[in-house]
Chains A and B, each alone.
Chain A
């Protein structure tokens, strides 16, 4: 973020978001924004691995879930929430280290399926061991304040965006992209591909675990297995692809679209937004590898410089 204009716009957004709980008392709106921040966190985390490193993971629900589980258990046994969050994130890294790294050793192309298998194992196992809903103890419910959840979610979301933008601008990030674009070529110029893939996995699982922790802090009562549900793996895949794979703004934009569609069809049976999103996803994978961000950038550049690509302007907008 060298561009001062971009930094200024980002700061404006952050200040605006920080003011929301002061301006509105609508719990609906605040809860909605917390969900949005959760989506942004897990999407950014996924994006680092899937978008920048090219390792499509369908196992993020396991990292998100373990973060939620450990944070919740630590928190209700009187550990301060910030420490509990770190505990959750560390446990997520440990899980990634123990089961994710073997997945990276699989033959190319099998990583998504291997991680999907792990996510399902984690979901079923947690559902079997802890089949009960995890409600907060009553003294926690009395002290429950929505703004504190909101600010935590906002800060973790900002943190995840900062971490991902910092990493991808570093030497490590260049290596990630090189591996994504051509693994053999990257290996040939001396990049230790496996090490960097592990690095991407660990950073990504750290962020996903933090996201899970935020989920555990925000929800009053949920089944312990629900953050392990596969939808938490599918969601970041969808939002990142649709927003724009391997960009910082893409996952944010995708999350906003996803949440908006979700709310629009909240009252219909079944999940119409998933039908629309699934279909858009297929079209984007096939035809627009840059996602919606690349379309909007094209349109913007056409608006700014209408002369540059004459006739097609009216068609594409």
Chain B
């Protein structure tokens, strides 16, 4: 992409930033959900996204359209999440909040090393990507270019968030999830099966990685890319404020746009740094997040 100057270049940058931001928002949603509900910091979320991307690539090579692989990847990741919870994360449920964050982070960190290095062993360290026939297609509107894949990704992200919203706000299970996230002891006393709620929430949060999986698969990925994507996610989670699921997507867009602007003004080399600097500043200045109400202490 040639770096275009001037007002039009600026708008174009914003468009790409916006579309990237939708992806960041999706990644962050999975992390935010599990963090908001059960105070687990799943550092391995990025690695699971990469695993999903490999699954999608596998199906793509069999002739399936990348977007059609989403349901399969979603189910596979859901099962992955359930298994990881049953084997490892489920054992942390009883700890106090600080210990939970620390231990879940450590476990996820160990799992991240295992997943990343197993992926390198299985699929080698090469960069991969899926290139369907429409991968370069763009729309022209208002004199700007809109890539088809980015647009569909943003659309899917909005769709999924709406479904998640309806699920959390309209169903009985969603009510249980919200109750458990507020006070799991009280929820348990009211007859909610806390461990089952945790299990399903964790699996859902991992399955949310499926859309980012496919979108990243359509860009490019390698076994060790997980932590970079986790970084984007955690920056967005911090931007939106912990426990504030609805702030996540706007915060993702915000990060995407900030990054795009930094690329526009400072060049691509500091793209990653911009987000992280914002992140550290937020952690220091606004420990409860920018948009967050800071519901919990």
Contact = CB atoms under 8 A, between A and B. Distances in A.
Interface string A79-111: 000000000000000000001001101111110
B117 A110 contact: no
Contacts of B117: 270-272, 274-275, 278
A156 interface: no
Interface string A220-249: 000000000010001001100100000000
B132 interface: no
Contacts of A147: none
Interface in B226-278: 227, 231, 234-235, 269-270, 272-273, 276-277
Interface in B106-149: 106-107, 109-114, 116-118, 120-121, 124-125
A112 interface: yes
> Chain B at the A interface: mostly helix, strand, loop or mixed?
helix
Interface stretch (A11-19, A20-28, A66-74, A114-122): A114-122
B287 A285 contact: no
Nearest to B223: A270
A72 B266 CA distance: 29
Nearest to B111: A282
Nearest to B105: A112
Contact of A285 (B41, B97, B103, B272): B103
B284 A105 contact: yes
A312 to B, nearest CB: 22
Contacts of A103: 280, 283-284
Interface in A258-298: 268-272, 274-275, 277-279, 281-282, 285-286
Contacts of A270: 117, 120-121, 124-125
Contacts of B280: 99, 102-103, 114, 117-118, 121
A56 B124 CA distance: 31
Interface residues of A, number: 40
A122 to B, nearest CB: 10
A297 B120 CA distance: 36
A286 B102 contact: no
A269 B114 contact: no
B272 A274 contact: no
Interface of A: 56, 58, 99, 102-103, 105-110, 112-114, 117-118, 120-121, 124-125, 128, 230, 234, 237-238, 241, 268-272, 274-275, 277-279, 281-282, 285-286
12 contacts: A102-B280, A103-B283, A103-B284, A109-B97, A113-B234, A117-B231, A121-B273, A124-B269, A124-B276, A274-B114, A275-B121, A281-B106
Given A114-B283, A278-B111, 16 more contacts: A103-B280, A106-B283, A108-B101, A110-B283, A113-B41, A117-B279, A118-B280, A121-B277, A270-B120, A274-B117, A281-B109, A281-B113, A282-B110, A282-B114, A285-B110, A286-B88
